Homo-oligomer: A and B are copies of this chain.
């Protein structure tokens, strides 16, 4: 990590006034390509001074017209229609994989073997086995690796983790996580898409939404020991572009009960069949001294109940606006009450990764590394297995 110039902390980097550059090669120009590129364009002036300046070297994608347009839009210096060629570009130190799920493993492994640091969108692999292969192959190279579980970078979520670490919550009894969306319900008329096909997506709501919930469960409560689950596919056939019908072979929804290794009891659920839930991720922790609730549709807020609050006549869930200078990452933004949005999670996430790269820090636990990505995949697999077999499945992390 010679790029870091010998700085031992982001504070050092900021103090020195010397800001290194990290050349980025981006795979994908759709939703995640947009979100990541936008973040990289904001880091230099908003995380100021930044740990490093992301230099937008190249963007890759199969559709040349689209990738050229993206290159122009975000200001990448060049473009590739073959990610393998991009990985030979010496200007690139960080490979950012925003491709679909079936394009996570091979490019990420190849990038690492080419000496590039790797940021991969979630879920890491389509299965625990694929994820393990990625973790192992990338791990052997020594590059920094990160899975884009961006919700760890919501200030409110990071604040919960800080409360957990402080010990103020005491023993955690319950974790309740649901992630609900609606965009493949009948009134949307959604056709067959890659996210509904197992070979491309790995799983359905489980890997797309559930993986986030599982990562948050692990981040905030601890390792998951065992799982009892069911899955559902409500609409089994959808029209393909060519007019034929295709079979949906992933879950539209799953629901599970889990036991954490520390004895906490959890429920984890996700669905794309919840009318009115646009991005309805909601988590709740019930602990010995406090309860905490987070709702992604109001991501600047937390609800916190403390059992010891005084005066007791006014005990109640506190509705916290997470927007003060002392809240995580808020020193970079605006005065209190001037809210930030969903996209800001990527600014924090990629900034953290840049800091890890130039200052040789561990990605986890602030961010999720490939080990975290693998462990989330083990839980996803356990959900599928438990649903299939109708029994409790132990999570085996290897």
Q: How far is the CA of A378 from the CA of B305 in the complex (A)?
A: 35
B residues less than 8 Å from A277 (CB atoms): 286, 291, 337
Q: Which residue of B lies closest to A323 (CB)?
A: B278
Indicate which residue in B279, B289, B338 contacts A342 across the interface (CB closer than 8 Å): B338
Query: Are B253 and A228 closer than 8 Å at their CB atoms?
Result: no
Instruction: Decide yes or no whether A259 CB sits under 8 A from chain B.
Output: yes
Query: Are A253 and B390 closer than 8 Å at their CB atoms?
Result: no
Q: How far is the CB of A51 from chain B (nearest CB, A)?
A: 15
Q: How far is the CB of A279 from chain B (nearest CB, A)?
A: 3
Query: Are B320 and A318 closer than 8 Å at their CB atoms?
Result: no
Indicate which residue in B163, B280, B290, B340 contacts A341 across the interface (CB closer than 8 Å): B340
Interface size bucket, A side? 35 or more
- Residues 14-33 of chain A: 1 if any B CB is under 8 Å from the residue's CB, otherwise 0? 00000000000000000100
B residues less than 8 Å from A259 (CB atoms): 230
Q: Which of A289-343 contact B (CB under 8 A)?
A: 289-291, 296-309, 311-321, 323-324, 326-327, 333-343
Query: Are A297 and B232 closer than 8 Å at their CB atoms?
Result: no
Query: Are B279 and A286 closer than 8 Å at their CB atoms?
Result: no
Q: How far is the CA of A138 from the CA of B180 in the complex (A)?
A: 44
The main secondary structure of chain A at its interface with chain B is mixed
B residues less than 8 Å from A164 (CB atoms): none
Instruction: Decide yes or no whether A397 CB sits under 8 A from chain B.
Output: no
Q: Which residue of B lies closest to A390 (CB)?
A: B392
Instruction: Decide yes or no whether A159 CB sits under 8 A from chain B.
Output: yes
A163-B314, A187-B307, A267-B269 in contact; A319/B320 too (CB < 8 A)?
Answer: no
Q: How far is the CB of A135 from chain B (nearest CB, A)?
A: 28
Instruction: Decide yes or no whether A1 CB sits under 8 A from chain B.
Output: no
Query: Are B178 and A253 closer than 8 Å at their CB atoms?
Result: no
Q: Which of A222-241 contact B (CB under 8 A)?
A: 228-230, 232, 234
Q: How far is the CA of A139 from the CA of B325 in the complex (A)?
A: 41
B residues less than 8 Å from A129 (CB atoms): none
Query: Are B335 and A31 closer than 8 Å at their CB atoms?
Result: yes
Binds B, one of A35-43, A78-86, A111-119: A35-43
Query: Are A273 and B185 closer than 8 Å at their CB atoms?
Result: no
Instruction: Decide yes or no whether A257 CB sits under 8 A from chain B.
Output: yes
Q: How far is the CA of A254 from the CA of B303 in the complex (A)?
A: 23
Query: Are B279 and A338 closer than 8 Å at their CB atoms?
Result: yes
Instruction: Decide yes or no whether A193 CB sits under 8 A from chain B.
Output: no
Instruction: Decide yes or no whether A191 CB sits under 8 A from chain B.
Output: no
- Residues 158-169 of chain A: 1 if any B CB is under 8 Å from the residue's CB, otherwise 0? 010011001010
B residues less than 8 Å from A74 (CB atoms): 45
Q: Which of A79-129 contact B (CB under 8 A)?
A: none
B residues less than 8 Å from A245 (CB atoms): none
Indicate which residue in B173, B267, B336 contacts A183 across the interface (CB closer than 8 Å): B336
15 pairs from A and B in contact (CB 8 Å cutoff) = A35-B334, A45-B73, A163-B313, A173-B232, A228-B392, A230-B258, A255-B267, A275-B289, A278-B323, A306-B314, A313-B320, A334-B343, A338-B343, A341-B341, A391-B392
Q: Which 7 A-B pairs have the closest CB atoms?
A: A279-B337, A278-B337, A276-B305, A390-B392, A316-B320, A316-B318, A341-B341
Q: A276-B307, A276-B316, A302-B316 are in contact. List 10 more A-B contacts (CB 8 A).
A: A42-B42, A173-B271, A230-B258, A257-B267, A274-B291, A275-B286, A297-B337, A306-B314, A312-B326, A340-B342
- Chain A interfacial positions (CB closer than 8 Å to B): 31, 35, 37-38, 41-42, 44-46, 48, 73-75, 159, 162-163, 166, 168, 171, 173-174, 176, 178, 180-181, 183, 185-187, 228-230, 232, 234, 253, 255-259, 263, 265-267, 269, 271, 273-280, 286-291, 296-309, 311-321, 323-324, 326-327, 333-344, 386, 390-392
